[in-house]
Structure 1
Amino acid sequence: MTTAVTTQQATVSGADTGAGDAPPPRATRRGGRGIADSAPRWQIFLPLGLYLLFTLIPFYWMLLFALRPAGSTSLVPWPATTAHFDKVWNDLGFAIFFRNSLLVGVASLIMTTVVALAGGYALARFKFRGRNGFLLALLCSQFIPGALMLVPLFEIFRNLNLVNSLWSVVIAETVFQLPLSLILISGFIRNVPGELEEAAWVDGCGRFRAFCAVVLPLLRPGLIAVGSFAFVHSWNHFLFALMFLSSQEKYTIPVGLNYTIGAESVDLGALAAGGVVAAVPVVIVFAFIQKWLIAGFSAGAVKG
C-alpha cells in the first residue's frame, strides 16, 4: 500500500511539472552561484596581485637597504649583514626608543579601552538629555586636525609639569582617539540585547556584575579591534611625541627615526633598519588579532 501511494504521488508530481520541462539552470542546481562566481579567475587575481605587488615593494626596498652592506648596489640583500640593526639598536639608542614606544602604546591602549568602554555603555544603555548632541559633537571632533590641539595641550601639560614626560603623550593619544573609540564601543554594546542583562538582574546580579558576566564576553572582538587601533596609532604617531618630548631618553621610535636624518646626509641603511624595527611589532599585532579584528568589524549578531 505504501509503495502504491508513493508511486501515485510521484506520478502526480511529474504531471504537474511536465515531463518535457527543461532542467533547472546550472546556477540553481549549484546553490545559486552569482555572476561574480562565474568570472574568470584572472579578473580576480590580477588586480589583487597588482595591489599586493604595489604594497610589498616598499617593504622589500626597506629590507634591502637594512640587510645589504653599506655601499652595495645589489637588488638582492646577499650577503646579508646585521650591522645596520646593531648600529640603530646600540649606537643610536633604539632600544630605549622601543621601550618608550611600547610603554606609550600599552598605556594608551588600556586608557582608551577602559574609558571608551565606560562611556560607550552609558551612551548605549542610558537615555539622558543631550545624548544625541553629545554623539554629534564626538563625530564633529574627528574633523579637527591633531595639530590644532598642540597649543592647548602643551599649555595644560606645562601647568601640570608633564612636559617631557611619557604621560603627556599617553594622555594626548587617549584624548585624540577617544571620540571614535566611544562611538564604536557604544555601537557594539547597543547590538547586545538588553534582555540578556535583565535576565541576569532577575537572577540576582547587580548592574556591574551582569555587565561583566553577560555583556563583556560578547564585546571581546570589538574591544580587541578598538584596542589594536589605539596601540598602532600610538606606536606610529609622530606629532605629539615630537612636541611634548625634549630629551633623547624619552623619545619614541618615530621621533628617533626622524633624528637619523642629518642636515647634509642620510644613513639609508640605519634609517631602513629603524623602519624595520618600527614595523615588526605592528605586523605581529595584526597577525595575531586578525580573526578578532574581522569579527569586531562584523560584531552585533547574537547567536543563541
Structure 2
Amino acid sequence: MTRSTTTTATGGPADTGTPTVGRDAPAAKEPARGAAPRRRGSDGARPWEIWVPLGLYLAFTLVPFYWMLLYAFRPSGTTGLLPWPLTLDHLLRVWNESGFGVYFANSLKVGLVSMVATTVVALAGGYGLARYDFRGKKAFLLAMLCTQFIPGALMLVPLFEIFKTVGLVNSLWSVIVAETVFQLPLSLILLSGFIRNVPRELEEAAWVDGCSRFRGFLVTVLPLLRPGLIAVGSFAFIHSWNHFLFALMFLSDQEKYTVPVGLSYTIGESGSDLGSLAAGGVVAAVPVIVVFALIQRYLVKGLSAGAVKG
C-alpha cells in the first residue's frame, strides 16, 4: 500500500493522505455528464425485458375474458369494442329463462360437499402417513401417485355400473362421490407432506400435559395446517365446479344439471345467441375468480410446504 504525493511550491513531495491500491492504479471512470444511468432490476434485467414478456402474457390471458365480458354486457346487435351502453338482459335471461339459477345451486352443493369430504378424509389419511410407519407405506404412496395417470373417462363405465347398483344414478351424490374419490390421492399426498413438516415435539408436549392424541392434534397441529387445508380445499372446490364428464354421464334430469352441463346445453339451444353464451360463461367463471382472489396468499405457501420432502 502506497500513498499518493503532490509537489509543493518548494519542489518537495507533499503527502495528500489518499491511499491507493498501487502506483499504476487506474483512475475511476466517471459517468459522462448529462448521460442518465441505465436502470436495472435487482437481478440485472432492464425494465423492458420484464414488462414486455409480462404484457404479452397478460394480453394472451386476459383478452378472451374481456371478449366474454364484452358479449355478456353489450346489447344485442351492436359491434363496438366497448360494452356501452351496459345491459344486464343477457344475464337475466340466462339466469331466469335458461335455468342457470338451478344449475348454480347444484354446482355449489357439489363443490362444497366435495371440498369438505376431500379435506376431512385427506387430513385423516395424511396424518396417518406422516406420523406412523407401517408395512407397505411406500407401496401405498406409489399407488396413490399412479392413480393420477388414470383419466377419469376410463372409469365412467365402471362407476356408472356401481352407482346404478346402489341407486345413485341421476343423483348429485353420485357426482360428489366420484369427485371426492378422484381428488383424494393428490390431496392426501399434499397434506401428509405438510403435516410431516410440523415438529412432532409439539404433539409430545401436549401429551405430557395430559392431552389425548386426538386433542393434541386439534390443539397443536391443526392450527398450523391452515395454508395446506385452504390449498387442498380450494382445489377440490374448483375441480368439482369445473368438471364436466361426471355430471354429464351420471345426471339425466335437467333440474339436477351443474353449471358446465347446463352451459353445454345452452350452446345447443341458443344457437347463435352469443350474448347468452357469454353470460353463462360469466356465471361459471365468477365463483372460481372469487375463490382464487380470497385464497391466493395461502395457495403458494400451502403447495410449497406440502411438496417439501420430510
If the TM-score is normalised by the length of the shorter chain, which range does it land in?
0.7 to 0.9
Distance 2:306 2:172 in 1: 36
Name the counterpart of 2:215.
Answer: 209
Q: Residue 155 of structure 2 aligns with which residue?
A: 149
Report the structure, 1 or 2, having the larger strand content.
2
Using structure 2 for the length normalisation, give the TM-score: 0.85
Aligned equivalents of 2:140, 2:242: Cα separation in 1:
29
**Other-structure match for 2:255:** 249
Partners of 1:181 and 1:49 lie apart in 2 by: 34
TM-score by length of 1: 0.86
Q: Give the deviation of 1:300 after TM superposition.
A: 6.8
Does 2:143 correspond to 1:158?
no
Residue equivalent to 1:86? 92
Specify the code of the residue in structure 1 equivalent to 2:249. Answer: M
Question: Does the CA-based 8 Å contact 2:111-2:241 persist in structure 1?
Answer: yes
Which runs of no fewer than 5 residues in structure 2 stay unpaired? 1-17, 26-39
Aligned to 2:118: 112
* Structure 1 residue corresponding to 2:56, chosen from 43, 50, 56: 50
Structure 1 Cα separation of the partners of residues 108 and 41 of structure 2: 47
In structure 1, distance between residues paired with 2:107 and 2:61: 25
* Contact 1:260–1:266 (Cα < 8 Å) also in 2: no
Whether 1:122 and 2:128 are equivalent positions in the alignment is yes
Aligned position for 1:271: 277
Query: Percent of counterpart pairs with the same letter?
Result: 72
Inter-partner Cα distance in structure 1 for 2:272 and 2:42: 49
- Paired AA for residue 263 in structure 2: L
* C-alpha distance in structure 2 between counterparts of 1:245 and 1:234, whole Å: 15
User: CA 1:40–1:93 in 2, change beyond 3 Å: closer, same or farther?
Assistant: same
Q: Give structure 1 stretches of 5+ with no counterpart.
A: 1-17, 23-33
Aligned to 2:295: 289
Give the drift of 1:264: 9.0
Offset at residue 46 of structure 1 (A): 1.1
| 1:95 alignment counterpart | 101
Give 1:76 deviation, angstroms. 1.2
Cα distance in 2 for partners of 1:193, 1:89 equals: 50
The RMSD of aligned alpha carbons is: 1.9
Indicate conservation of the 8 Å contact 2:68/2:282, yes or no: yes
- Equivalent pairs counted in the alignment come to 273
SS in 1 for 2:121: helix
Residue 265 of structure 1: how far off its partner (Å): 2.5
Q: Which residue of 2 aligns with 1:14?
A: none
Give the superposition deviation at 1:36: 5.5
